Chains A and B, each alone.
Chain A
């Protein structure tokens, strides 16, 4: 028998880490991943939760010339509605805008989406394509210490992250993509809204004189974690976006993902959809 006996909403990170580290309280942000799991009894309610939304400085979007820095408690609706983010890194704003529905986007946080570590987390794919890093606050002897983890190292398996007990994800940072970069992000589902991705793909490419100089490809829902597409990237860099290049890139993508079959789709169909989305994105990028 489990019961939630304590709810607290401290104002400082130290208090959060103390609660999470010492008493084992569950960190609670928007609750949109946690609460359904409790009500459906997939996991028992924890004895204590510590709400991190009252902590100062944990939400907001800062866009400078060089870098974009987003607080962990920033809402999906905040990402969607931020004109600055739409300009600087539209790929992330777009992914956030396609999560669930307004009610969820008004509660779901960026940090929660990442810390929940679902292979289908919609913001993970663009963040991988953006080479993001996350700042993690760790309880140290003299207050909090901070460490930086690259987004690809952050995800370690379904529901598993690089966070140690008591650690808090505080910020997500990435370099502002070059103005010339083209981007695309798409998720595939059977409905236009309220869909957990069957598969998703994000792409950022920079080309000069038609030759691709830099490419980032990432996938969601087709591996135990959101995945960076090293093979697909390699198939692009140094080449022009010819049919052959696109074909090679798609083949590489199909080879480097490891989808499973479940109630939403079969492995084969997921693989197929990654190929279709990627091909269409690259064809669009070529301009046509």
Chain B
């Protein structure tokens, strides 16, 4: 059990804003985001790295926020699903998910979108095989993945590349 322990200061950047918080040393990044910052878009489906629902970017790399200690993020930059839309407009990846029917219950969607977003930061026009590999750690029980893969591929210069 986690007894009440003294909280420790944490300063980091979330979605471009600098944030200061006091967290307990055992808090995960997912907990800090959800419980302290009310960034509930980040979901938890397993808390052991198996489902990807909690995926966020940590210094530009996609990670499972359930497997990161909040205190590890001191001085680092975190991007969550709430950080993608600009001026009330969906990010193209979010729009692609909406328009391709890649969202059903939506519980996996924030993690999926963040993972796909991270892929495209490194690879502007991934092949279908690359998309499948990038999303291999994100479970979805509703869609069967086809429309998710199609949504990601649709951003390749507006058309998909099959291989």
Which residues of A does B touch, CB under 8 Å?
1-7, 9, 28, 30-32, 35-36, 38-40, 45, 49, 51, 53, 77, 100-104, 106-107, 192-194
Contacts and interface: CB of A to CB of B under 8 A. Distances in A.
Contacts of B63: 103, 106-107
A40 B55 CA distance: 19
Contacts, number: 102
B72 A36 contact: no
Interface string B61-98: 11110111101101000000000000000000000000
B3 A1 contact: yes
Nearest to B8: A7
B67 A35 contact: yes
B35 interface: no
A103 B5 contact: no
A280 B51 CA distance: 33
B1 A1 contact: yes
A39 B48 CA distance: 7
The 6 closest A-B pairs by CB, nearest first: A101-B137, A36-B48, A4-B26, A193-B136, A3-B3, A7-B25
Contacts of A192: 136
A258 B136 CA distance: 31
A206 B49 CA distance: 39
Contacts of A2: 1, 3
B39 interface: no
B138 to A, nearest CB: 8
